[in-house]
Structure 1
């Protein structure tokens, strides 16, 4: 998600400021589309990029996955780590703060997830996604969920430019024989605004399997 006039702030500084100064919290619930596509997979090792406060990562750990959650914000990662204290998942989840434009967590994975990994400041998103996908073992899955619309109460709603499905696919530069497309399309969600408003928003879902 980008503004019509893309801002040039450093993404590390932008997201650190976002988590330090804005009202950000966690719901304690995983994303509904993540649950829809991942719930029946056999657990293994998963890399969750843009993990924020760790809602998805903790749900995955509860399903038996060994999770590495990565986020650009040290503040977000520290909050996610605090949620591990006294939990049953402390040995199953590793939260790391890293600028994914410059580094990627080590290892190979059976699943890579990227839920709403979008930024209003410049970020080499497609390159990051491709490098994360390269860490999948043969037969591993990639799930990318992206905002494709905003609710009417979102500030600056008319300024946002959302990716199209074709732009998402083109950015991943998929090899013709390397990937199985289980889902490449749109999904809708019902959301509730700060004053109890109701709306339907649209997401892009890419659910792929490495051949």
Structure 2
């Protein structure tokens, strides 16, 4: 078992549920209205985004390094009645990657305190976007307001840094959104706060 897998299995094993089970708000904002097709969710966790997409007719491949998380995502998909639209795969991203092309590739909050080749993973994500498809990258711009001292020494890139690191071929992509947004996030103790995150959305031009 790799250090990355061990870390995230332990993290998910801390409680019966880590996340809310709801989709990421910005994913909903950016994807609602798109014609459903094939979607890839990198770092799908317990499946909140996977299930939301499948409920809207997307055929979704969800990927995570934690088998604990994938098991919960599978249970969530079954409870939601969309298991037939969901393919959950274990991957150590950076070492292996799902096959095929996708109309939507989403990488939401793909950060880790364990060393991870995030830039290489996002370049692989871009390569997996089908002609006419979208790459959506959500990330943290900074720490939550109640985190007065940064808990980890992790670089949180701006959307421009992410865009530059993708190395997209000129004339083959169009930048549709790049910016920051603020959302509410409570501390583990229930203290209310806010967090500034960022969004990058690029579309591969149709052939």
Alignment length (residue pairs): 203
- Please name the residue that 2:86 is paired with: 93
CA distance in 1, matches of 2:33, 2:141: 26
Could you list the runs of 4 or more consecutive aligned residues of structure 1 that deviate by over 4 angstroms after TM superposition? none
**2:13 paired with 1:20:** yes
Partner of 1:140: 133
1:36 to 1:146, Cα distance in 2 relative to 1, 3 A = same
- Shift of the 155–75 alpha-carbon distance from structure 1 to 2, 3 Å rule, reads farther
Alignment of 1:1-211 (within 5 A): 10-21=3-14, 24-154=17-147, 156-157=149-150, 159-160=152-153, 161-211=155-205
Contact 2:144–2:194 (CA under 8 A) maintained in structure 1 = yes
Alpha-carbon distance in structure 2 between the residues aligned to 1:15 and 1:155: 24
How far apart, CA to CA, are the structure 1 residues paired with 2:151 and 2:43?
A: 25
* Residue deviations 1:111-147 (CA, integer Å, cap 9, x gap): 0001101111110111111112111111000100001
- State the distance in 2 between where 1:48 and 1:102 align: 17
2: CA distance, partners of 1:38 / 1:100: 23
For structure 2, the 5+ residue unaligned runs are none
Q: Distance between the aligned counterparts of 2:187 and 2:15, measured in 1? A: 17
How far did 1:101 drift? 1.3
The Cα shift of 1:192 comes to: 2.3
Flag the structure with more relative contact order, 1 or 2, with Cα contacts below 8 A and sequence separation at least 6: 1
**How far, CA to CA, are the matches of 2:95 and 2:151 in structure 1?**
32
Which deviates the most, 104-113 or 171-180?
A: 171-180
Q: Distance in 2 between matches of 1:141 and 1:162?
A: 22
Counterparts in 2 of 1:53 and 1:186: CA distance versus 1, 3 Å: same
Give the superposed CA RMSD.
1.9
Task: Measure, in 2, the Cα distance between the counterparts of 1:41 and 1:67.
Answer: 14
For 1:162 and 1:180, how far apart are their aligned partners in 2? 24
